[in-house]
Amino acid sequence: MTSKNLSPKRQRGVTSPPSWEPSIVVFACNWCSYAGADTAGVSRIQHQPHFRMIRVMCSGRIQPGFVLRAFEKGADGVLVSGCHFGDCHYIFGNERAVEQFEKTKNVVKLLGLEEGRLRLEWISAAEGARFAEVINEFTDQVRKLGPSKLSARKLSAISYQLSAISQRVRRS
């Protein structure tokens, strides 16, 4: 390898720090939010690519344990998204989502994670632009917070505690 192949920074022995991008998990309602994400894609609306979408039948199905598991597996942020009030295919699923989200938010606080790592949004199937806006805003928000403080070492130390908390929350 010759010096021609190296960038000026590398030639001087200075390397740039590796760029970090947040890992976002999105739990999306099958009927509205998942379809909204699809609308964004079909419409070729630009948005951040740093997320994994998990399709669920209803946002009311998202238990605190699902969100905790996402953080346990290395997510830096979790977005829960469902139908607008009055549009839920399961009548009151999004009302249940609010209840579950509040429980989850309390557990996340107990674990010492910033509230900004967890978000609840309502996005309909026709709102592809809104999906892109929400995912862009949330990714930027999590990027500013930096990597999650729950490292693999810390998680292995508290995995039993997470399971116990999750079971208690499910019972309530």
Domain of 35: which CATH number?
3.40.50
One-letter identity of residue 42: V
Q: What is residue 52's three-state secondary structure?
A: strand
> Counting Cβ atoms within 10 Å, is residue 81 exposed (0-12), middle (13-18) or buried (19+)?
buried
11 located within any domain = no
> What residues make up the domain containing 143?
22-171
Query: Is residue 17 in a domain?
Result: no
- pLDDT higher than 60, residue 118: yes
- Does 104 map to a domain? yes
pLDDT digits (tens, 9 = 90+) for 12-39: 444 434 688 999 999 999 999 999 999 9
pLDDT at site 6: 40
pLDDT at 3 over 50: no
In a domain, 149, yes or no: yes
Residue 70 covered by a domain:
yes
pLDDT surpassing 90 at residue 103: yes
Residue 15 maps to a domain: no
Residue 3 lies in a domain: no
For residue 4 the two structure tokens come to 């021609």
Closest CA to 62 of 23, 120, 107: 120
Tell me what pLDDT residue 159 has.
65
Number of folded domains in the chain?
A: 1
Distance CA 134, CA 150 (A): 24
